[in-house]
Structure 1
Amino acid sequence: MRRHLTISAAALAATLALGTLTACGSDSSTSGSGGKVKIMVGGLDKVIYLPAMLTQKLGYFKDEGVEVELLTEPAGVQATTSLVSGDVQGVVGFYDHTLDLQVKGKQVESVVQFSHASGEVEVVSNKAAATITSPKDFKGKKLGVTGLGSSTDFLTKYLAVNDGVQTEQFTPVAVGAGQTFISALQQGSIDGGMTTDPTVAQILDKKLGKVLIDMRTPEGSKAALGGPYPSSSLYMNTDWVNSNKETVQKLANAFVKTLKWMSTHSPEEIAAKMPADYAQGGKDLYARAIKSTLPMFTTDGVMPADGPETVERVLKAFNPNLQNATVDLSKTFTTEFAEKAAG
C-alpha cells in the first residue's frame, strides 16, 4: 500500500493559515445571493491564477457593479471543497475538477476559461537530476504535489502512467507551493515535484533544481499531455449559475476584460499591478515568472476546442472513478458568458 507523506504539522498549519487570508477586508458571512460573491482561489499568489487578483486591482469587478471577495487556499482541491460545501459561490482553479466532481454526482461548470495550457512544471532536485530524466524514472521516488487529489496530483499520476510507471510505484507528497515546496526540495523530503510560477522561478534562481517537464506554453503542454489542456478557470455550481446569470455575466465581463488587458501589456506592467508581497524573489524575478507563464492564458475566456477531450483522456488514464464512467463534457463548461463578454 502506497504511503502518502505530508509536510510537518507546523509547516502545514502555516500553509493552511493562509486560507483564512482575504484579498479585501469584507464580511465573509455575506451570502452570494444579492450580496458579494465569494470566490476561493487555489493560491492567490500563483501566476496561473493571476487574473483573479489582477481583475480586482484593475477595478473591473467594481466597474461591473459586482462586489467580489477573494479568498485563498493552498491547493485547488481544498478550494473545490469550499465550493461543494456552499462556503463560496465560485472557485478559480483547474477545470479538471469539474469532471471529477461530475462522476461524484456534483454538477459544476467552468464559466470563464483562463488558460489553454496547464501552466505546471515538473522540477527535480539537483541531487535527483541524474536519476530522474523522464517520468519513467518516477518509480520509487517521492514527488511533491500541492495536495492529494489536487490537479498537480492528477497530472503527476498521468505523466507516470503514460510512461509506464503505476501510481502505486511512487509516493506523492503534499507540500503545497511557494516556500513549503522549496523547503521540501532543499531538505530532500521530495526528489522533485510539480509546481508553478513564481515557485519555479525561485527554484531556478536559487539553483535548487532543474526543469524536467515544462507545460507553461500550449506547445509544452501539448507535448506532455497530447493536446490543449484547459486548466485555470472560474468554475461554479451549475444550479447557482442558472439562478444568477446576470451576476455571472458581470464576472465574465470583468475577467475577459482582464485577459485582454494582459495580452496587451508587458510582464513588468502586469507585475506592477499585483500586491508587492507576491514578488518574494524580487520584482525582476517576479516579472520573469509572469513572462514564462503568460503563454498559457487565453485572450477571450472561451474553452479551447478539443480541450475537454484532452482533460478527460488524461484523467481516465489513471483515475479509477472516471475510467468506467461516462462523462457529459458539455455539462462541465459553458461558453455562453465568455462569448458574450468577448463579443
Structure 2
Amino acid sequence: MALSRSFFHTASFAVLMAASTLGAGSAAHADDKITIMVGGYEKHIYLPAKLAEALGYFKDEGLDVELLNEPAGVDAENQLLAGAVQGVVGFYDHCIDLQAKGKLVESIVQFSQAPGEVELVSTKHPEIKSAADFKGMSLGVTGLGSSTNFLTQYLAFKSGLQPGEFTSVPVGAGATFIAAMQQDKIQAGMTTEPTISRMLKTKEASVLIDMRSVESTRAALGGTYPAASLYMETSWVDAHKETTQKLANAFVKTLKYINTHSADDIADKMPKDFYVGDKEGYVKALADGKAMFTADGIMPADGPQTVLNVLSSFSKNVKGKQIDLSKTFTSEFVKAAK
C-alpha cells in the first residue's frame, strides 16, 4: 500500500506540474496575441506594418499579431484608449495630444522622420496658390482630430487664417478622397501615397505643399517632424515589456529591410490590390519616398520639439499645457532590438 500511495502521489504531482506548465504556456501565448490598429495599412506611410507581417517577422518573434485597418488615425486612437487594441500604427503627434488630455501614450518604434503627406489642390481651383488661399475653402482630411487635420490647421494658422475661415471635411483616403475632390466637395486636401500619384497622373490635382521628404518638411513645418510610429499606452508597455520588445524586434528588422532593399523588392511583398492597378506608379512613389523611414526606429533628436511647436501654435488642447516630451516616446526597446 505504501508503494501504491507513493506512486499516486508522484503521479498526481506530475499531473499538477504538467497542468501548471500548460497554463503558463497558455498565458504566454495569450500575452503574445496582439491586435494593432493601422490608420490605413495600404498607405505608404504605414507600410512597415504589412511588410513585417508579409516577411514573417512577427511569427519569428513568436507573436500572433492581427492587423486591423482603420482609415482615420483618430479612430484608431479611440480603439486603443477603449482597450480594444494593444497598439496603433499612426502618427506620433497623437502621443503629445493625448498627454495634454491626461493620457500617457508613447511611441515605441518611430517609423518615419517626415509625414509623407501632401496638400493637393484640385486643378479646378487654380486660384489656390498658397495656404493663405484656404480662406472660404473646404479642405479634405482623413478625419476630424486626425494628424492630417492637425497639419492642415497648422498650415492655415501659419498663413494667418483663423479657425472658422476654412472647413475641414473628413473624406478618408484613396477612392473616397478622390471622389470628394472630383465632386468639388473639397477644393484641396491632405493625403498620402498612393493617392497622391493617382491624382497627379490623371491631372486632377497638383501639389501645393509637399511633406514627403525631411528637407521639404523642414521648410513647411520648421523642423524634423517624426510621424508614422507604433504607439501604445505606457501602462500596457510597462506591464508587457517582453512582448513589447518582441514587437520592437520585428519592426526594427522591417525598417532595416526597407533601408537595404529596393522599392521593387518591397512592393513585391505587398498585397497586389495596394497597387490600385498601377504597380509602376506604386513602385516609383515608394522609391521617391523611401527616405522618410528611419533606419533603426529611433526617434529623431529634434523631432518631438518640432511636433510640440506645431501643435501648440493652433491647438487649444495643447497650447499652454505642460508636456513632458520624454514620456511621449521611448528608445528603450529599439536600442535593445536584435
After superposition, give the CA deviation of every residue in 1:91-136 in whole Å (9 maximum; x if it has no partner): 00000001111111111000000011111100000011x2111111
Superposed displacement of residue 289, structure 1: 2.1
Q: Structure 1 CA distance, aligned partners of 2:294 and 2:92? A: 14
1:329 aligns with 2:295: no
> Residue 253 of structure 2 corresponds to which residue in structure 1?
257
Superposed displacement of residue 33, structure 1: 5.0
Structure 2 counterpart of 1:148, from 141, 144, 151: 144
TM normalised by structure 2 equals 0.90
> Residue 47 of structure 1 corresponds to which residue in structure 2?
44
Indicate the SS of the match to 1:48. helix
> Residue 21 of structure 1 corresponds to which residue in structure 2?
none
Number of aligned residues = 312
Structure 2 counterpart of 1:71, from 68, 71, 93: 68
Q: Structure 2 CA distance, aligned partners of 1:235 and 1:113? A: 9
Superposed displacement of residue 340, structure 1: 1.3
| Gapped regions of structure 2 (runs ≥ 5) | 1-26
> Residue 188 of structure 2 corresponds to which residue in structure 1?
192
Structure 2 residue identity aligned to 1:166: Q
CA contact under 8 A between 2:43 and 2:193: conserved in structure 1?
A: yes
Q: Structure 2 CA distance, aligned partners of 1:188 and 1:292? A: 29
Superposed displacement of residue 32, structure 1: 9.0
> Residue 84 of structure 1 corresponds to which residue in structure 2?
81
After TM superposition, where is structure 1 displaced by more than 6 Å over at least 4 residues in a row? none
TM normalised by structure 1 equals 0.89
Q: Structure 2 CA distance, aligned partners of 1:178 and 1:31? A: 39
| Gapped regions of structure 1 (runs ≥ 5) | 1-29
Superposed displacement of residue 293, structure 1: 2.1
> Residue 279 of structure 1 corresponds to which residue in structure 2?
275
Structure 2 counterpart of 1:58, from 36, 52, 55: 55
> Counterparts of 1:202-213 in structure 2 under 5 Å?
202-213=198-209
1:117 aligns with 2:117: no
Work out which of the two has the higher radius of gyration on C-alpha atoms and give 1 or 2.
Answer: 2
Superposed displacement of residue 285, structure 1: 1.2
Segment of structure 1 superposing worse, 159-168 or 298-307:
159-168
Q: 1:210 and 1:114, CA in 2 relative to 1: closer, same or farther beyond 3 A?
A: same
Structure 1 counterpart of 2:160, from 150, 157, 164: 164
Structure 1 counterpart of 2:297, from 294, 301, 313: 301
Superposed displacement of residue 31, structure 1: 11
1:246 aligns with 2:232: no
> Residue 222 of structure 1 corresponds to which residue in structure 2?
218
Q: Structure 2 CA distance, aligned partners of 1:230 and 1:32? A: 33
Superposed displacement of residue 306, structure 1: 1.1
Q: Structure 2 CA distance, aligned partners of 1:45 and 1:139? A: 32
1:288 aligns with 2:291: no
After superposition, give the CA deviation of every residue in 1:232-254 in whole Å (9 maximum; x if it has no partner): 00000001101111111110011
CA contact under 8 A between 1:32 and 1:88: conserved in structure 2?
A: no
Q: Structure 2 CA distance, aligned partners of 1:240 and 1:31? A: 15
CA contact under 8 A between 1:125 and 1:192: conserved in structure 2?
A: yes
Indicate the SS of the match to 1:200. helix
After superposition, give the CA deviation of every residue in 1:71-110 in whole Å (9 maximum; x if it has no partner): 0101000000000000000000000001111111111000
Q: Structure 1 CA distance, aligned partners of 2:296 and 2:337? A: 8
Q: Percent identity?
A: 60
